[in-house]
Amino acid sequence: MDENLKREIILDNYQNPENKELIDDDSYLKVNQASESCIDNLDFMMKIENNTIVDIRYDGEACAISTSASSIMSRALIGKSVDEAKKILINYKNMIEDKEYDEELLGELNVYDNINKQPNRIKCALLPEEAIDKMLGGLENE
């Protein structure tokens, strides 16, 4: 993917983020994810019905990378089964950490494929992955 297109997608998802609004609904899983090293502090909500993610929402204060990654990731995971979502999360994390991953599986999330060259941005890009992973991990304890 062209570097200018990547920047455009990231900037658009930062300036016009999708699913960035929390709602008052106790049927959602909820988690807060904050960074120790910067301003990022987001609350995430996820609703799962019949083993399918039907909604993901988030809100809070975050940088362009965390906000755009949350927007793109929420879009990528809504409508996916829990197992499909877990595969996407694993591949996304592998990409961010410069490990082997399935590019086809990630779609638009591939805009972060070079983020590992900016070590100070890795935590920002992983923030939504860690939050959603926590919520999906919590399902196994229910």
pTM over 0.75: yes
> Average pLDDT of the chain?
95
For 97-108, write each residue's pLDDT tens digit.
Answer: 999 999 999 999
The CA-CA-CA angle for residues 4, 43, 134, to 5°, reads: 90
Percent helix, strand, coil in the chain, to 5, is: 55, 20, 30
Phi/psi at 53 (nearest 5 deg)?
A: -75, 115
Outline where DSSP puts E strands in the chain.
29-34, 41-49, 52-61
Count Cβ atoms within 10 A of the Cβ of residue 111 and give its class: 0-12 exposed, 13-18 middle, 19 or more buried. Answer: buried
**Confidence band for 38, pLDDT divided at 50, 70 and 90:** confident
Q: How far apart are CA 76 and CA 108, in angstroms?
A: 8
What is the predicted pLDDT for the residue at 141?
47
CB 30 within 8 Å of CB 45: yes
